[in-house]
Amino acid sequence: MTFTETPLRGAFVIEPAPLEDARGLFVRTWCRREFEAHGLDIRIAQCSTSFNKKKGTLRGLHFQVPPFEETKLVRCTRGSIYDVVVDLRADSSTFTRFFAAVLTADNRKAMYVPAGFAHGFQTLEDDTEVLYQISEFYAPDHSRGVRWDDPVFAIPWPDDQRMISERDRRYQNFDPGTDTHR
């Protein structure tokens, strides 16, 4: 696997190295030793899948607050997504900056989302599926979100036609002085 750190310290794009032959391919997508060698959190408490029927489905920007902050490994297993991470760590030099990458079933890349980051994505085609490996158990009382279109982040989402849940539409713009991003 190739680990490429993004401009946001601690967030990585991880690209597998497939072994191919006439039958197809075999690829390792997670290895505790390789993740540890890069100083990454290797705990996995839950795995989840998000299936999205329509192109333009936008989910996010989501995170959990302490003591249940999550580290996530996000991979697109069917279709394609524009995957976004936002640094919400107040002590970080990249506080409120975002990074985005296209993850597809074909490129098999994954996004490593460290604790203290918000995460979201927009589907680039119909029938897209996303797999999450998550370090913490879901804690609804500690689940938060911020607006996908917050001007502080200025994320250039790829398509103007979007499907967004009512919950995600109700999120407030980011206010670094509060913990009320519900």
pLDDT of residue 161: 87
What is the tens place of the pLDDT at every residue in 13-64? 999 999 999 999 999 999 999 999 999 999 999 999 999 999 999 999 999 9
CA torsion through residues 59, 55, 111, 102, sign: negative
pLDDT of residue 176: 78
How far is the CA of 5 from the CAs of 11, 24, 38, 51, 155, in angstroms?
A: 6, 29, 10, 27, 19
What is the tens place of the pLDDT at every residue in 53-105? 999 999 999 999 999 999 999 999 999 999 999 999 999 999 999 999 999 99
Known catalytic residue: 62?
yes
Entry pTM = 0.93
CATH of domain 43-170: 2.60.120.10
Domain residue ranges in the chain: 43-170
Catalytic residue among 38, 119, 132, 181: 132
Q: Is 170 buried (19+), middle (13-18) or exposed (0-12) by CB count in 10 A?
A: exposed
For residues 29-68, one letter each, b for 16 or more C-beta atoms within 10 angstroms of the residue's C-beta and e for the rest, the string is eeeeeebeeeebbeeeeeeeebebeebbbbbbbbbbbeeb
Catalytic residue among 62, 119, 171, 181: 62
